[in-house]
Amino acid sequence: MYFFDTDHMSLLDLGRAEGERIKARLRNVPPDDVAVTVISYEEQTRGWLARIAQMRTPEREIGVYTELKRQLNNYCRIAVVEYDAAAVEIFKRLRQEGIRIGTMDLKIAAITLAHNATVLTRNPQHFAKVPNLKHEDWSA
């Protein structure tokens, strides 16, 4: 099982060379073996909502709302994995062990560990700090 980190979801959305490399790798994986965490959805949604809040006129909001809807459609096409009680327990244990990465990355790591999955990320230096977490970069 593979879980996209937020950066890989963003790369898929942008359609650049990195996103095309990810798509090429996806062709070799059964669709049911790929998911994203609700944490990535939260991160991306917060980003779009912040951009909407920065717009000075309703007319300028149109494009950002269009992008927000496109993001929503992307998440409707992929399984979204919950942040559940098992992930919370792993998250708390990792915090107690002193794992020093961002809270959102730590939550993604906890969900990934709870499902014995591999996180797909361009940020291996952070995720490598989490013991027993499998990670790969499909954008390279």
Q: What is the pLDDT of residues 84-110, one digit of tens each?
A: 999 999 999 999 999 999 999 999 999
pLDDT at 20: 92
Across residues 7-13, what is the average pLDDT?
Answer: 88
* Tally of structural domains, the chain: 1
Q: What are phi and psi of 44, to 5 degrees?
A: -70, -40
Confidence of residue 4 (pLDDT cuts 50, 70, 90): very high
Domain range for 112 is 2-136
pTM of the model as a whole: 0.92
Examine the pLDDT at 137 and tell me if it is beyond 90.
Answer: yes
pLDDT at 140: 87
As a whole number of angstroms, the distance between CA 115 and CA 55 comes to 39
pLDDT digits (tens, 9 = 90+) for 19-69: 899 999 999 999 999 999 999 999 999 999 999 999 999 999 999 999 899
Across residues 6-23, what is the average pLDDT?
Answer: 88
As a whole number of angstroms, the distance between CA 76 and CA 100 comes to 32
Q: Cβ distance 5 to 101 under 8 Å?
A: no
Strands 134-136 and 118-120: parallel
Examine the pLDDT at 14 and tell me if it is beyond 90.
Answer: no
> Which CATH number belongs to the domain containing residue 100 in this structure?
3.40.50.1010
